Structure 1
Amino acid sequence: MDTMTTAGQRTASTPEDAGTFRQRLLDGLASAIVDNGYRSTTVADIVGRARTSRRTFYEHFEDKERCFVALLAEKNAEMIREIVASVDPAAPWENQVRQAVEAWIVASESEPAITVSWIRDVPSLGVAARQLQRDSMAAFVTMIETLCDTDEWRSAGVGPVPRQLILLLIGGLRELIATTVEDGGRVSDITEIAMRASIALLDPRR
């Protein structure tokens, strides 16, 4: 059964409970970032929004930074799944680029505060965050390598795409999205330029 804290909030006592409370803490951090930004968010903010206790928080995470890293890792994996699911591997390769870029932008625009926090706050954090950056970049590189290494891409004389170009593509899209959000613009407004730039970068014939 669940145990109770002195504040009347529940703590996890089973594996199922642990997963639920962990997710509530991640959701609590996400909500706090939207309202206050990552740097102004405290552990008290997170547990208050998660309706649980500091004890439960520290059962799952060493500190706020580790919670942030876990949140971004989850969001990253979710975004990659959405992009992959949006791409039709039988479509002309330029159409596939549009599908992927549009899915990337939709995912970014759905949670702009998290998107900007990812790009602006992570570089100032510690070792765990730097590892997250490397893991995230590796996952996106693998995703793009896989999407571009198909019969459709090879028959068009485009794929496979060199890793260096993929790194340039990812970095450019992230910075463009972050700058657009920070300037108060709509991420969807950059869809066409992002698509044209991606096609120009990925096509060695241009």
Structure 2
Amino acid sequence: MPATEIRCRVENAMAALTAEKGYAAVTIDDLARAARISKRTFYDHYAGKEDCLLAAYESAAGRVLDAARRAADAAAARGEGATARVEAVISTYLKALAAQPEMTRVFHVEIQAAGAEALRRHLAVDLRYVALLQRIVREDGGTLSRAGAIAALGAVHELVLHAVAEGRTARLPSLLATVRPILHAVLPAARGAGTRSRASN
């Protein structure tokens, strides 16, 4: 069996089992059984349970971030300003989370039980989004501070966390309407630049 298929099976099993019973209760036996592999095969690919969780997180987070970047680039190709491009990023992010409820629960709730390295990885992913938002604004002739980008993302994360905890994951895309005024508050320069850009076309 190809290594990529094995890792996909195991990481999907990690998400499903963690969502079902909590990270602390998941065992290597559980993962091997759910992925239909031996424990030896599991250890050929992962150092242990935490390594598996972190790999699953990195993989899922990378896919969502790639989709968000594509959405922002598509909006730019349509001549949209920075605010519309940032909204495209957030909208794509929320839709991706709604489409993967198990992954979303694991990586917004259960990940907090996985220790310091999990937190470090989570913050590193956040900083990739910060860099994306700053790039979008910069390309539109505006400026966005690191703190401003973190504040906007923090609002999104908190809304997602509460929605997931309350069983409203499927409704995550509707949060864009709640987040929009916050985006407008932290993107004043970008909003002006985007307006000028559209007016000049």
| Interval containing the TM-score (normalised by the shorter chain) | 0.7 to 0.9
The alignment's C-alpha RMSD in Å is 2.1
Does 2:113 align with 1:124?
A: yes
CA distances 1:38-97 after superposition (whole Å, capped 9, x unpaired): 333222221112110111111111211110001111111111111111121221333223
> Which residue number in structure 1 is paired with residue 7 of structure 2?
22
Structure number with the bigger relative contact order (C-alpha 8 A, sep ≥ 6) is: 2
State whether residues 80 and 143 of structure 1, in contact with CA within 8 Å, keep that contact through their aligned partners in structure 2. no
Alignment equivalent of 1:78, drawn from 63, 71, 78: 63
The answer on 1:63 being equivalent to 2:52 is: no
Q: Report what 1:104 is aligned to.
A: 93
| Residue of structure 1 in register with 2:153 after alignment | 170
Amino acid at match of 1:164: A
Match of residue 95, structure 1, among 77, 84, 89: 84
Q: How many residues align?
A: 185
Higher gyration radius (CA): 1
Contact 1:47 1:54 in 2 (8 A): yes
Query: Which residue of structure 2 lines up, in the alignment, with residue 49 of structure 1?
Result: 34
Identity among equivalent positions (%) equals 21
**1:37 and 1:113 in contact (8 A); partners too:** no
Offset, 1:165: 0.7
Query: 1:201 pairs with 164, 169, 186, which one?
Result: 186
1:127/1:190 Cα in 2 relative to 1: closer, same or farther (>3 Å)? closer
Q: 5+ unaligned residues in a row in structure 2: which ranges?
A: 193-201
Q: Which runs of 5+ in 1 are unaligned?
A: 1-11
The aligned amino acid for 1:32 is L
1:125 and 1:164 map into 2 onto residues whose CA distance is 26
Aligned to 1:190: 175
**1:114 alignment counterpart:** 103
2:125 aligns to what?
A: 136
Aligned-partner Cα distance in 1 for 2:24–2:180: 33
Note if contact 2:86-2:133 (Cα within 8 Å) is conserved in structure 1: no
Task: Give the distance between the partners of 1:20 and 1:29, measured in 2 at CA.
Answer: 14
Specify which structure has the higher proportion of helix: 2
SS at match of 2:109: helix
SS at match of 1:167: helix
* Distance in 2 between residues matched to 1:111 and 1:27, nearest whole Å: 11
Q: State the TM-score, normalizing by the size of structure 2.
A: 0.82
